[in-house]
Amino acid sequence: MTPWYRTAVFYEVPVRSFSDGNGDGRGDFIGLISKLDYLQWLGVDCLWLLPFFPSPLRDGGYDISDYRGVLPEFGTLEDVRRLVEEVHRRGMRVIGDLVVNHTSSDHPWFQEARHPGSPKRDWYVWSETDQRFADARIIFIDTESSNWSWDEEAGAYYWHRFYSHQPDLNFDNPEVRAEVLDIVRFWLGLGFDGLRLDAIPYLIEREGTNCENLPETHDMIKEIRAVVDAEFPDAVLLAEANQPPKDVVAYFGEGDECHMCYHFPVMPRLFMSLRRQDVDKLTAILASTPPIPDGGQWAIFLRNHDELTLEMVTEEERQYMWDEYAPDRRMRLNFGIRRRLAPLLGGHRPAIELLHGLLLSLPGSPILYYGDEIGMGDNYLLPDRDGVRTPMQWDDSPTAGFSAADPADLFLPLVSTDGYRPAEVNVATQQGDEGSLLNWIRDLLAVRSHHPVFGIGDFEVVPVDDPAIFAFLRADSNEKVLVLANVSKDGRACPLDMEAAQALDVRSGERVDLSGLFLDGHEFRWLSID
């Protein structure tokens, strides 16, 4: 039987940004529950909730101070239980975020560990000097200058791969490992259908290495997977490893680590192809992606809650992406671009559609980012990545239907750029407009749901003598679909050298003659072949 996650469409939801049920200006579980009908209507299969645990929120909740609790402004554990129930009642699923590479410095474990001689001391990574593990890169280059920070009370440096307020846990300590396994049991036991393993390459440090992807880190993931296989066999583990393909595939193990891994390198190359009107870099990265074990699945995406990361491209490509997509320096953050999908593409509807056409047909399960289905805008003047985490725009009212609070009291201001204000971009208006982006995406999801081949089929590139045309086949024992995508702005004839002469357009139901095909600028087709 095909595991559910291989044909699922995921939808990423930051609870804080989605819907405010109690009128305090911040999203919460009651609000999210009230919007589940919308998500079911849209046709997504699985929600991915960003961290919702107690946290000082200095890294959007990725700085956790209690792994078994719920941030009070979001609600209670009871609310989470209800959410899970309501999601399941609608035939959907929900996964959470397991952020255990590091805790918040506010976590009681760290506070205890700071005392020399405390039993928790060894739960973190301490050093007398800041010179150990010197080969490990710094990830948040815009804010951090070292992976070590001095703690006065501890009288030692502590290790952190991200913000200095996020000390890394010490995975060489068996107590830490046991605790993490218990956290996994806690949330899967509560009914979650899986967990995203945040920042998973960095669990273990070793001198003389870059402290990423170490064998000992893989051993820990195998321990997590063993618990899942034994106790929650239907649950999925999704690896967040922003690494080149050859290193990412290691996170599938031999089918004994994660069920899914993000394919980070594909994402920027989708954007590059569009601007360069040439698919060479995209086809090259797919060609260099090793096969994955049976039952494994890629997770692919266009945008998410972080900056559009440019870590997995060359320096020259990064500069190209910055020049093209982030001409204003304030749009840049670390090695990336803090903008949303629609503004990145200048609001150009055919380009937005084309990228969705690829997202939903390339190998992998697609993950949509909340708000991108209506073409929401961003605000890159806000600090850090807040500009892509603004309140969801439900309608054209003063709080965009996000909250009953005063607009001035929202946790972040609504998007106010021309063309993207809630009055111009919102769910209610688009639901009532047959030609809206929202209805277009909903229709595309519906079509995809009838063609599991997009989730499970083999992938084969079809050579075409035009660098702007990307042609590939997805095939399983039931069906063969030819995907054609024109990344050029201009219309192109599409000369195909295929055995089949005729195909059926699975979106329009029209018969298509494959010999005389023409694609408009940014057009894509999904063609079923006998």
Catalytic residues: 198, 240
Helix (H, G, I), strand (E, B) or coil at 460: strand
How many C-beta atoms surround the C-beta of residue 479 within 10 A?
17
- Token readout for 135 is 């080969």
Q: Give least dist CB 334 to ligand BGC, A.
A: 10
- Rounded to a whole number of angstroms, the minimum distance from the CB of residue 529 to ligand BGC is 39
| CA dist., res. 502 & res. 421, Å (int) | 45
- For residue 62, the minimal CB distance to ligand BGC (Å) is 3
Could you tell me if 257 and 233 are in contact, meaning their C-beta atoms sit under 8 angstroms apart?
no
CA distance linking residue 75 with residue 70, whole number of Å: 7
The region that residue 117 occupies, defined by phi over 0 for left and psi between -120 and 50 for alpha, beta otherwise, is left
CB of 242 to ligand BGC, least distance (A): 7
Half-sphere exposure of 523 (CA within 13 A, CB side): 13
Which secondary structure element, helix H or strand E, spans residue 445, and what is its range?
A: helix 437-449
- Transcribe 45-85 into DSSP letters: -EEEEPP-SS---SSTT-S-S-TTS--GGG--HHHHHHHHH
Greatest alpha-carbon pair distance for the chain in Å reads 77
Residue closer to ligand BGC by CB (options 232, 264) is: 264
User: Which residues of the chain form contacts with ligand BGC (CB under 6 A)?
Assistant: 59-60, 62, 99, 162, 198-199, 240, 305-306
- Give the residue among 225, 300, 372 at the shortest CA–CA distance from 6: 300
Distance CA(32)–CA(176), nearest Å, equals 32
| Least distance (Å) between residue 194 CB and ligand BGC | 16
With CB atoms as reference, the residue minimizing the distance to ligand BGC is: 62
Q: Which residue's CB is nearer to ligand BGC, number 17 or number 283?
A: 17
Residue among 59 and 86 whose Cβ is closer to ligand BGC: 59
Nearest residue (CB) to ligand BGC, 79 versus 306: 306
Nearer to ligand BGC, 59 or 151 (CB): 59
Considering the complex, what minimum distance in angstroms separates the CB of residue 389 from ligand BGC? Answer: 10
Check if the beta carbon of residue 448 is closer than 8 Å to that of residue 416.
no
Q: Which is nearer to ligand BGC, 79 or 198 (CB)?
A: 198
Token pair of 197 as six digits: 């393993």
Phi-psi region of 187 (alpha: psi -120 to 50; beta: other; left: phi over 0): alpha
